Amino acid sequence: MLSVIQRVASARVEVHGETIGAIEQGLLVLVCAQAGDNAETAQRFLHKLLRLRIFEDDAGKMNRSVQSLDGQGQCGGLLLVSQFTLAADTRSGTRPGFTGAAEPVMARAWFEDLVLQARAQHPIVASGRFATDMQVHLVNDGPVTIPMNL
């Protein structure tokens, strides 16, 4: 599983000019399923994601997670977006290869399971639409952008 996590002041995903998912402060998470990923992989990823301490505390140190942005239990949002291009292999030639990404049927099931698990464990979850041309708008906070691979 490949991902890029961006701490955001706000983010939204549009399809044909219609907003299909939006959050205020929180995390925009671009995710790519790989062959062998399953519900357990999604659960491990989500467990780590929800506890990842990349929000500043009162001293300005990255000590807070999306589950406790203000230190008093206020949660931030999660915007999950499937992005198979994270698996791009650019080692040879000038056209990336994507053989590292999971097959679309498996990737869709994995992504949908990840979104369901996230909604069961976190109060503010939005998502993009699998295998759809989307426009992602964000205000990166920091900027803080972190790759995370399991």
| Residues 9/31, Cβ–Cβ less than 8 Å | no
| Residues 9/58, Cβ–Cβ less than 8 Å | no
What are the distances in angstroms from CA 50 to CA 14, 58, 104, 135?
A: 24, 20, 26, 25
Secondary structure percentages of the chain, helix, strand, coil, to 5: 25, 40, 35
Which tokens in the block code for residue 100? 């590292």
Report the distance separating Cα 89 and Cα 86, nearest Å: 9
Which residues are part of the catalytic machinery?
83-85
Residue 145: strand pairing partners? 6
**Backbone φ, ψ for residue 78 (5° rounding):** -120, 130
